[in-house]
Structure 1
Amino acid sequence: MKRVTVLIMLLIVSIIQLNLSAEGVKENSPEPVAQTLTIQVAGLKGPTSIGMLPLFQNRPDFAAGVQAEYQVVPEPQIMLSRIMSGEVDIAAVPINLAAVLHNKGVPYRFGAVSGDGLLYIVTSRSDISSMEDLKGKTIYCIAQGSTPEFILRYTLVQNGIDPEADVNIDFTYDHVSITPQLVAGNVDLAVLPEPFVSIVAAKNPAVQPVIDLQKVWARTSGTRTTYPITAVLVKEELLRSNPEAVDAFFSVYADAIDWVIVHPKETGALAEEFMDMPAGIIASAVPRLNLHFQLPAEARPRVDELYRVLYSFAPASVGGRVPADEFYE
């Protein structure tokens, strides 16, 4: 009996020691490490991403548990490939491309507007200062069959000018080849976007923007505001799984755009560093880049109007139809 009692007591002591050891292990165990969400943010090289330059420099992690990686994408086809493959989570792209991708079923949603139009009529002539003055003239226009042509045609029509009968629209040059022609004086009237307006004016001060097509659109359009030109796409999966992170990103992006508007000289330096664009030219162009951050709830009326205008000229330019409600949700 004594032997049995001793064995029982030893067993009890062993159990108590095991429990104490287990509690000690539990108390000393490290806390589980929270997983970090990595978000890929991409901006297309050029005016589309000027508002992102402070983000490229500062690379902010905009929410707890979120690590952001920023990339400047050199060409539209590379950006398209990365979106189609789902490699990027947030991307700044031309606004018509956003509609095309949506209508192809690519799983991204419209997150925000980050820039308005930047098309201007430039000339070295002294007899042109209004849309009415364009009658009877040859207007050189870049990018036949795309947004610059459609914006020009729309604003002409809205001002009572027949694009077929009252003017001659010439598509001989693209945005690169027309620049030396304007500088040399071989072309004296053209539609041009920033920063090419500033590039030409710097090389030939006689060529200046005389008509702001954004103001013409605002004056004559149904919304009485100008048209947007840059959209921020957000991957559907990210919107559903972490909307707080998306909201936090948009907050820092809006602040970045505000900084760019106030600091054109510093923005020029960043454009040279991150996008190999001439600092002085970008600094001069910033006031005419019309950077503007706006969430879909406020932006949608003018986004829809732009899409309807583009669709009226070429349905394929927006992917065959004007995007419906789900694009913005």
Structure 2
Amino acid sequence: MKRVRYLVLFPSVLLLFLSACNTNETTKIQLAEVTRSLFYAPQYVAIEKGFFEEEGLDVDLQTTWGGDTTMTALLSGGADIALVGSETSIYVYAQDSRDYAINFAQLTQTDGTFLVAKEPKPDFTWEDLTNSTFLGQRKGGMPQMVGEYVLKQNGIDPHNDLNLLQNIDFANIPGAFVSGDADYVQLFEPTASIFEKEGQGHIVASFGEESGKVPYTVFMTKQSYIDENEDSVISFTKAIYKAQQWVQKNSSEEIAKVIEPYFEDTDLDILTASIERYKEQDSFATDPILDEEEWNNLKNIMEEAGELPADVPHEELVNTQIAEEVINN
């Protein structure tokens, strides 16, 4: 008679055994975006197409509404990764932060705003802004700094040649333009296209086309998080790169259909037209690498606006090794 032997596992050993057998474990990442914007289409594609899941990540997206609150969430541990303007990493660094934010994956590579006029301007030139009332963005933020940079490049002194308004909160700028006396406003999509469709404004120029390549919106995290979770950051970057490639290969309408759940109050045709504008001016980065030329362009824009607190070298606040590894593999 054969003697049957049973494997007896004590509770602690059993837990270890079951953990080793579980190959479907995911890593949770708290992701904070500075605002909800069509400009961030590849990020929503990465979520909706399951690219994060393919990399073993469970991404919890929260909108933190503003650069200051987004960076506070990141630096305090309320978020693991932040999607925000790369200028914020320079502001934090200049405050002698011990554990400052590192830019590791670029999402957008141009300004995302458009110049919208209240009245039709079929023959618009930048000189038309002279002596006008211009409703701008928050002082020290990328939209405002790029706006001022473009105006100066076109011979307009924003503080002397026009009436520049900067006292309206970001979320209230569209409403203030409609109800106020401003002749021009700087708007993101899809608001710019919605205004044009409804006859409340007319798109006359693109700040993205005028300003050139700049690391406008970037994924960043604390250096300590990279040190402790490098594999997760690499996996995150892989998912973003997949999304960037998918956006490049697919039509604006197909992209709009995928990200429509994030913009339930906007018609599909407006989403499609807005995405097409961004694709035409190469606003969506095709890969996550933030190169030195773009970084220097950012600093030039900040310096021109009088907002550069320190001349921080590219290698100090930008990690390209992760993105390069992702692309090469």
TM-score per shorter chain, which class? Answer: 0.7 to 0.9
SS in 2 for 1:46: coil
1:225-244 correspondence runs (5 A): 226-241=213-228, 243-244=230-231
TM-score (structure 1 length as normaliser): 0.73
Query: 1:137 aligns to what?
Result: 132
Pair 105,295 (structure 1): closer, same or farther in 2 beyond 3 Å: farther
SS at match of 1:68: strand
The answer for the alignment partner of 2:79 in structure 1 is 88
Task: Give the equivalent residue in structure 2 for 1:117.
Answer: 111
Q: Which runs of structure 2 are paired with 1:59-70 in the superposition (5 Å)?
A: 59=50, 60-63=52-55, 66-70=56-60
Is 1:271–1:279's contact at 8 Å kept on the other side of the alignment? no
By how many angstroms is 1:233 displaced? Answer: 0.7
Cα distance in 2 between the residues matched to 1:145 and 1:31: 52
Distance 1:86 1:171 in 2: 31
Q: What amino acid maps onto 1:287 in structure 2?
A: E
Partner SS, residue 191 of structure 1: strand
Is 1:305 the counterpart of 2:297? The answer is yes
Partner of 2:188: 193
Q: Specify every segment of 5 or more residues in structure 1 that has no aligned partner in the other structure, as ranges.
A: 1-20, 219-225
1:169 correspondence with 2:157: no
- Take 1:178 and 1:88, find their aligned partners in 2: how far apart are those partners? 27
Normalising by structure 2, we get a TM-score of 0.73
Distance of 1:25 and 1:314 partners within structure 2: 71
Q: Which has the larger radius of gyration?
A: 1
2:65 alignment counterpart: 75
Question: Structure 1 residue 328: deviation in Å?
Answer: 1.6
SS in 1 for 2:216: strand
Residues 165/102 of structure 1: CA separation in 2 closer, same or farther (3 Å cut): closer
Number of the residue aligned with 2:209: 215
CA distance in 2, matches of 1:128, 1:139: 18
Q: Secondary structure at the match of 1:291?
A: coil
Partner of 1:305: helix, strand, or coil?
A: helix
The match for 2:324 is none
Question: Given that residues 115 and 186 in structure 2 are in contact (C-alpha distance below 8 angstroms), is that contact kept between their aligned partners in structure 1?
Answer: yes
Identity of matched residues, %: 18
The reply to whether residue 286 of structure 1 matches residue 280 of structure 2 is no
- Distance in 2 (alpha carbons) for counterparts of 1:302 and 1:147: 14
1:117 Cα deviation (Å)? 0.9
Q: 2:91 aligns with which of 88, 100, 103?
A: 100
Query: Contact conserved, 1:270 with 1:279, CA < 8 A, in 2?
Result: no
Number of equivalent positions = 295
One-letter identity of the residue aligned with 2:273? S
- Looking at structure 2, the residues matched to 208 and 70 of structure 1 have their Cα atoms a distance apart, in angstroms, of 37
The corresponding residue for 1:38 is 27
Q: Which runs of 5+ in 2 are unaligned?
A: 320-329
Q: How far 1:232 moved relative to its partner?
A: 0.7
Contact 1:110 1:233 (8 Å CA) reproduced? yes
Comparing 114-123 with 89-98, greater Cα deviation is found at: 89-98
CA distance in structure 1 between the aligned counterparts of 2:219 and 2:259, rounded to whole angstroms: 19
Which residue in 2 is equivalent to 1:148? 143
| 56 and 162 in structure 1: CA distance in 2 versus 1, 3 angstrom threshold | same
**d(CA) in 2 for partners of 1:314, 1:276:** 39
- Deviation string for 1:56-107 (max 9, x for gaps)? 32443344xx443332324336533431223433321122223333443344
2:312 counterpart residue number: 323
Q: Which amino acid aligns with 1:292?
A: A
**Residue 255 in structure 1 maps to residue 247 in structure 2:** no
Q: Distance between the aligned counterparts of 1:175 and 1:31, measured in 2?
A: 50
